[in-house]
Amino acid sequence: MKEMQLKYGCNPNQKPSRVFMKEGELPIEVLNGKPGYINLLDAFNGWQLVKELKQATCLPAATSFKHVSPAGAAVGLPLSETLKKIYWVDDLELSPMANAYARARGADRMSSYGDFIALSDTCDIPTAKMIAREVSDGVIAPDYEPEALEILKSKRKGTYNVIKIDRDYKPAPIETKDVFGITFEQGRNELDINEDLLSNIVTDNKEMTADAKRDLMIALITLKYTQSNSVCYAKDGQAIGIGAGQQSRIHCTRLAGNKADIWWLRQSPKVLGLKFKDDIRRADRDNSIDVYISDEYEDVLADGVWQTIFTEKPEPFTKAEQKEWLSQNKDVALGSDAFFPFGDNIERAKKSGVKYIAQPGGSIRDDNVIETCNKYGMSMAFTGIRLFHH
């Protein structure tokens, strides 16, 4: 197939719409559903991300994409009992591929609602069963087990988008796009992200563990496919907070840091102890938890509200209690798609347990950024490469 007609473009008024190849055949096969313009943008960006994660870590990888940026990305490491609970998968059989998607979806479940999924390896039955019960637009993978495919085909009354991509497809080295009737052309970003990029450690602390290097590579590869400006916090084989598309670096760091904090707060005894009613959907649980740990927690505890969600009225999760719990989050990795211009980014990162940092360097205030890292005993590598994505 050389081209595929789409219902419309980014918005219903943008017609006609299609995807096509100037040379050769499309490297995808739509096994079910009818993907749209934004679906395919998410699918192709997500596929590139997970393919590179698999190459860098030798582990199955997954990502959860929304509006051309990842809400989460991860590799298939085993889940702790706590993570199984906060990702709502403690009742499922888990394979390495399913572990990867549980982590990618679970990092920021509110942002992942209605996502497009990319998998680096064959979609197996455990992964398909997990996908089947989440609100999602579609999935792209290099292959599907027969029973897994049937599970996915039954989702959304048979309209769920299932795409198979040629794992050996390699695009042309020059890419183009039209904006305002004008054609832009550039070489593809074929930069190989590997441990060599982390060798130039500029801080007093030169220690960088194998796990830290893995997490920094996950952060940097995630940033390569995140709308800029962007930063990514990562820990234990997954992104835990992504700040995308902000005009200011510090706002990226704050946004992603807040998401990383929520991920950690969800693992606290206070949140794990919440008693939900049996008929509450997972999405409503996620929303309720988000409100419970926010400044609006009194709303969810108000008379007439909590009874619709919980079987017992939760005790408030005070700011002092949250601060104490957050202080226990350590050894977090942080990647940035461009240099940190001020030490304030490091100050904010410290609040979310960051110990390892990878960024391009090159600011006129690099000395201030390094000094701030040294103050907290952090280890920071200058990669020398920028990862803007637009």
117: number of Cβ within 10 Å:
29
**DSSP state, residue 226:** S
Phi, psi torsion values for 382, nearest 5 degrees: -95, 115
Q: Which residue among 54, 66, 84, 355 is the active-site one?
A: 66
Report the amino acid identity of residue 80.
S
Whether 122 and 97 have beta carbons less than 8 Å apart is answered as yes
- Neighbouring CB atoms inside 10 A of 157's CB total 6
H-type alpha helices, 195-281 = 210-224, 249-265, 269-272
The dihedral through the CA atoms of 115, 49, 105, 386 has a sign that is negative
3-class state of residue 9 by DSSP = coil
Q: Which of 45, 99, 161, 229 is catalytic?
A: 229
Active site residue 66: yes
- Torsion from C-alpha of 49, 51, 57, 63, nearest 10 degrees: 50
Residue of 67, 251, 351, 389 with catalytic role: 67
CB distance 189 to 224 below 8 Å: yes
Strands 17-20 and 3-6: antiparallel
Active site residue 390: yes
- Picking from 45, 48, 35, 85, the residue whose alpha carbon sits closest to that of residue 66 is 45
**Catalytic one of 22, 157, 330, 390:** 390
DSSP 46-71: HHHHHHHHHHHHSS-EEEEEETTEEE
Amino acid at 5: Q
Q: State the sign of the Cα–Cα–Cα–Cα dihedral 151, 155, 159, 165.
A: negative
Active site residues: 66-67, 229, 390
